[in-house]
Structure 1
């Protein structure tokens, strides 16, 4: 719907192309700073106006002028946001659309200096205003009159030329003037089509104003119309053959006007029964009161189909699909924890630079590594990535704990104290470099399997007793007061931190009291 008449508008057009002449795709959004009230027109306008680019990269949009009289607020400008696909940096700038220019191309007012992308295009002085600034004194009408110079002197008498007949004779025409005039008339053309009926005239020749010329196509001194002329039913039709039915005083059709097969308005039989009819469920194809219906009998799904295989997916309390009902979605042909035998991991070790300096686990320090669970996942092992662990047979004094904490810092699974762990890097098929240096996965069994629901967790590892050089772990080298993994917004979740002076895994651990300047350990969860 267009704006009310009287509100001045400006039509903004433009076209956007790539440097090689192809049309850009996207849109331009125009925003006024607030709701704009036009009290003289009883209307308030507001909200952004989006102008999409067509297949030629062009757009056109009509907007209220920024200097429309009587609007509130006044003295504002449009914010223009360019949103184009494939453009590295879209612009946002301000423009004025004065009513004195009812159409404008955006190329004439958009900024072209990349260093000043935001500005307001303002109207320059008119020629009259320039004249006033130059010293002219007077109104616009006086200034316009001053532009008219004195009238020039009359021109001299021209030389009379030959008339058309004399030119024709000079060109070879033979005959007198009457014959020449007759030669100018061509053959009569074919009769043209009859034009549309014009509006009533305003003089006696076309009919007196205010006098009816015809009614329903009839032209006569006194026009008489019948029911057919006005598409109506004659007043003789009610109750007459081939007419229309009448209604009685109760607003119903009288029995005598009903078809003879209807019994004059009384029921003859019901489902083939006459007299005082009493229908049972079977008479109308219905089930008896004690009949038990099943979901399939009424074309419905049983409640047991919710969340079941080949059933239907339920919605949670927020009207969304639970993540457990969604298929596992990963990029094609990518390395995942499952591809290497794990259920989840703190990071992809292949993306970690191999530190030159070995890092040994500090005795009585709990190492916490963040794990993100996106679907219900059962695990029974916490796995530590070792860079040097010869096994409990070679290091019998070492004691270990492993566990899992949820995001609130509550322990949800533990291994208890473990006094025997196999050497790292001894799986069949491992290369000599890993076998001889005891490098690889060290799984620590939990006391019982646990199914982790979607959420954020920490895998925990503790060497509670032993020497300072017993267990070397693969780590992410950190030279900052906080590990690079601790990069977050919103709810705090430190993916890499530690807690010292622990002889076992406590029931709860608070990340706010942990150490974040350490070299993070690489850990995983597994179901073996």
Structure 2
């Protein structure tokens, strides 16, 4: 709502079709892009769009074009009509002075080039000026006040001198009276002009214009369903059977197998054997005993061959061959995540230079993200971190963790929730004493549910949300900030090694464009245990 000290004008209008039906659409009143009212501490911007309601009407209140203190001033509204079904919409300028607080567009919209396309701002009348100067009274009293009092009678002037007597003229002869002329023919009455401001409608200029359908390029309503007219539609939006051509059958079946009325067909009517008709073995030249054929004898494949060795591949519910029936696509005789008990990993740890010097400790509330590529549908229920010196939650009870998985768009697809108990690293049976004693190895943290990962690129996520700065040491890919070798790509951006700081839990979404890439990325894997 505008401040009360800004004068406004309410603009109304109603738009109908020639037969009285409401039009639909909108009317836009466009002022300068920005109006400033310093006295009201208000800045107004943008056009005002008024949509026609169910009756075809609008009503909108806008600042007057002569509002005091407004910057800029001396402008006019541009009115643009956008009416559905009207081929030529108007655009014209109007002034809306505060002295006319209610304006109907029907009273001011231009209809011909000779009419001004704005509401003129009327100046004060002489009476209004007199009132402003202190006069009190009605218009009639003011008019009377304009007549001054009768002045005093002036002195009588001296008589003028008597003029000379003129000569008497001669008497003229009396003329004869002429014959009367022939009366003229009465002229014909002219055609009545159109009333009001409308000069013509669709080329017709007369007092009472009546437009027919052809005058407005329309089809007469009497043409609906009439010969030579147009087809109608029923309540379902279909053409009624009565208006279909005879060749279409009129929408109804006239006969079935030459039968009419309530037709019931028997086997003989359609060239079939009667119900219950049987043949003996002798009649068909076969043995009397039951004969059984194998799949091979009828040129078919046995159902037992489906998904069997030397058989045929089956298709899953999505019409694709399951991964288990595909040939091995990885290079032969090389190390894979599956060869070491994982479902996928961010990098082969054997290809990473062993970090030297002081071990790297996980930073509290830093979310580590490691990229993992999934090439076939894969189920996982663990995120695994390669730790260096993690003795377990029994030794470090204050530490709290989160792990999860994010897809390439940054949406979280799996999470562990808050975890307070994480097993110590390097304690699998058969682990060498050095790794066993120093707690070096895989630290699996369970997800809340098994996740099925479709082919695509993902990030494994690891977060230590609480604990001390030296509680959890991890194995990492050494990185020269900010040149992370893992972040080597073309085409679609995918950073395989990055992180987010100041995270107390796993966010629902992440954005690699705002992440930090100048840190040593953790070595992580996914597993199905």
Normalising by the residue count of structure 2, what TM-score does the alignment of the two structures yield? 0.41
Normalising by the residue count of structure 1, what TM-score does the alignment of the two structures yield? 0.42
Q: Which has the larger radius of gyration?
A: 2
